[in-house]
Amino acid sequence: MMEFQRVCVLGSTGSIGCSTLDVIARHPEKMNVYALTAHRSMQQLAEQVRVHQPTVVVVPTEQAATEFLTYLGQGVAKPEVRVGSHALAQTAADTEVTTVMAAIVGAACLEPALAAASAGKRILLANKEALITAGQVFIDAVKAGNAELIPIDSEHSAIYQCLPERIRRDVPSPADSTIRRLLITASGGPFRTWAPELLSAVTPEQACAHPNWSMGKKISVDSATMVNKGLEVIEAHWLFGMPADQIQVLVHPQSMIHSMVEYVDGSILAQLGQPDMRTPIAYGLGCAERIQSGVGLLELTSLGRLDFEEPDFQRFPCLKLAFDALRSSQAACITLNAANEVAVEHFLNRKIAYTDIVKVIAESIEKITALPSVVLNSLEAVLHLDQQAREQARSLCAVTV
Ligand code: NAD
Ligand code: MG
């Protein structure tokens, strides 16, 4: 029997946050919401509070708090309203919390995810940046805090679901000798078949129109460039201890197989399902037991076929950059992530072209890794390098216009 779960949903107004609330609401006898946090959309947060009645909400500023309370109006039990980024970490570590859904986008999730790790929570990790930037620091915090880490990113959830319990219990774990390779699938995004010369004119709207998944804007652009897959390769490295050479990316346009594990005996285990994040979220919330997620059947007969292709590094240079970064250093991985965030933001604001994203990342990595190397064994050291990389990327974006 799983224990009753009191969930802190970090980033509740986002795409993953909303899907999480949808799944939680299906299981009132097994779980409820302890805290909700949001950075914008105070009206949406107020609506969520009316439905889920959390004990705590966290908002970024006093002004946001006032706005939130105005939207909440009268006749509803008021939650405790906490303000500022430190309140995120404090709330994730509250003693009442059993489970933290880490679904804030970007590096802002790092501090609360680390706090949850140190406090020994069950962490449902949707955010990628915590592992990609902090790497060993985050893993050490999970181990030291005796926390449980369940991946939510669909590929890593698929891999996790294909692992024997012995290995799952130990995640994040060193490489297991029974695993030959991790096979991470990628849809190839909206531009998989576009002529490369057309890419320079791509608009944010086109980049965000993912063929199979409906997601936040940033991750949609990351899927189009395949930076997302690159980040997932690095994420898989930290979660499952596999070196870059034992992680293969396969373009699989139908997005029905979410990833696979190839074992030394020649078996490949795969997890299939509709491309709907509620399946991995339910697997996490169910603590690896199967619970209802609201996701419909996958009709294999109507699907007909499953295709696989080798990714084309010419068309998706960002994927190659990510493999190179993983082989090279953590500083390169941090810079890849930070420079990408800056570049994507500039692209979404129409300040740089789609094809500038890869240039900004590549040049940032070159510049940052040329600096004298520092030991990245603390949150401060990681955040400092992250800031340096962002400044570097910003100055490159400024000259690109
Ligand atoms: P989103 O943009 O839809 O939502 C992000 C949430 O984080 C919002 O609630 C927002 O208010 C909050 N937030 C943003 N900036 C913040 C800040 N500085 N401080 C505090 N809160 C802040 O993003 P999403 O698509 O839900 O993705 C969330 C995370 O999960 C990302 O790291 C993404 O890479 C990962 N992920 C998403 C999907 C998906 O299908 N959407 C799949 C796999 C992994
Ligand atoms: Mg994914």
Cα of 18 to ligand 1 centre, how many Å?
A: 10
The answer to whether residue 291 sits within a structural domain is: no
Domain identity same for 84 and 147? yes
The answer to whether residue 243 sits within a structural domain is: yes
Domain finish residue from 91, 118, 152? 152
Q: Hey, what amino acid is at 236?
A: A
The answer to whether residue 123 sits within a structural domain is: yes
Q: Which pTM was predicted?
A: 0.95
Domain identity same for 342 and 305? no
Where in the sequence is the domain holding 100, given as residue range(s)? 5-152
The answer to whether residue 335 sits within a structural domain is: yes
Percentages (nearest 5) of helix, strand, coil residues in the chain: 50, 15, 35
Going by pLDDT thresholds of 50, 70 and 90, the confidence category of residue 151 is very high
Tell me: pLDDT of 401 over 80: no
Determine whether the shortest distance from the Cβ of 15 to ligand 1 is under 6 A: yes
Residues of 126-156 as b/e, b for ≥16 C-beta within 10 angstroms?
bbbbbbbbbbebbbbbbeebebbbbbbbbbb
The answer to whether residue 225 sits within a structural domain is: yes
Q: What's the rounded Cα separation, in Å, for the pair 81 and 55?
A: 9
pLDDT at 1: 65
How many structural domains comprise the chain? 3
Domain identity same for 190 and 116? no
Which residue's CA lies nearest to atom 2 of ligand 1?
A: 216
Domain identity same for 237 and 302? yes
Domain identity same for 128 and 70? yes
Domain identity same for 353 and 377? yes
Domain identity same for 82 and 181? no
Q: Which residues contact 200 (CB under 8 A, 6 or more apart)?
A: 353, 354, 355
pLDDT tens digits, one per residue of 290-333 = 999 999 999 998 888 999 999 999 889 999 999 999 999 999 99
Instruction: Supply the angle between the helices 317-328 and 330-348 in degrees, to the nearest 10.
Output: 150
The answer to whether residue 26 sits within a structural domain is: yes
The answer to whether residue 30 sits within a structural domain is: yes
The answer to whether residue 160 sits within a structural domain is: no
Strands (E), 264-375: 268-272
Domain identity same for 198 and 312? yes
Q: Is the Cβ–Cβ distance between 152 and 124 less than 8 Å?
A: yes
Domain identity same for 344 and 301? no
Domain identity same for 73 and 138? yes
Q: Is the Cβ–Cβ distance between 299 and 273 less than 8 Å?
A: no
Q: What's the rounded Cα separation, in Å, for the pair 184 and 146?
A: 28
Determine whether the shortest distance from the Cβ of 280 to ligand 1 is under 6 A: no
Instruction: Supply the angle between the helices 278-285 and 15-25 in degrees, to the nearest 10.
Output: 60
pLDDT tens digits, one per residue of 158-185 = 999 999 999 999 999 889 999 999 999 9
Task: Please count the helices (runs of H) and the strands (runs of E) in the chain.
Answer: 18, 11
Q: Which ligand is nearest to the CA of 337?
A: 1
CATH no. for residue 34? 3.40.50.720
CATH no. for residue 396? 1.10.1740.10
